Amino acid sequence: MSELREKAIAKIAREIAREIRSGMTLGLGSGSTVASILHELASFLRIERIKVGSVPTSLQIQGVAEREGLSISAYRGTVDLVIDGADQVDSDLNLIKGGGGALLKEKILMSSASKSIIVADKEKFSPRLGMRGVRVPVEVTPFAKEAVKKRLAQLGGDPLVRMLPKGYPYFTENGNIILDTAFSPIDDPRKLEATIDSVPGVVESGIFTIKPLTVYKILADGKSIRLTA
């Protein structure tokens, strides 16, 4: 991580820390940006002696949380604050997520959170979702793979089964596969999200239109912009 990006992450973590009180439960998304934020955030919480519970969305981020001394909590249907990253953010702060494979748990937490905060580098922002070749992850039960691929193609998508470097299919922690699906720039993310989610065999799509939402845009100069929707 560059020194300027570290500076931006630290500043964002301090701002997030101001919104956290003892007894809150944090929902933790997955990925390198969340891990970086969590490292800085945990330091501030220790200094202020703020005790919180955390619900991680992956074994990766659970390991980070445990190393940082955060208590791991069971998910009980709601969380106070979600901290997460994104693969792409459009001009209305709709998101593509799921590059790390944890889209199902991430959407469950965001849908039940009092507040959600997304942190993303400026390169992740575009006027519309699906631009610059960013694909929409679609989590699918293995039995339905071929049927879902055909339906996604009918919707104008180009689905590819996510594979591991050694040539084996990638399986989520829920035991499902992911179809990384390219679409032309998406004019109506909410409609496409609902349509994909209605396909039998689809567990969840990586289009996130959940609001309200706060997004921090990390700039190249070490500063950040706070956006809300």
Other beta carbons less than 10 A from residue 24's beta carbon: 16
- The answer for residues whose C-beta is within 8 angstroms of residue 73's C-beta and 6 or more apart is 25, 53, 54, 55
Residue 106 falls in the annotated catalytic set: yes
Residue with tokens 């390169």: 123
CA atoms within 13 A on the CB side of 181: 30
Measure the CA dihedral 42/121/99/70, to 10°. 0
C-alpha angle 203/204/207, rounded to 5°?
165
Given 106, 139, 193, 204, which residue is catalytic?
Answer: 106
Task: Fill in the amino acid letter for 147.
Answer: A
Residue with tokens 């997004």: 215
CA distance 66 to 60: 10
Angle between helices 32-47 and 3-17 (to 10 degrees): 50
CA distance 6 to 8: 5
- DSSP string across 152-174: HHHTT-EEEE-B-TTSPBPB-TT
Give the pair of three-digit tokens for residue 130.
Answer: 């699906």
| Residues labelled catalytic | 106
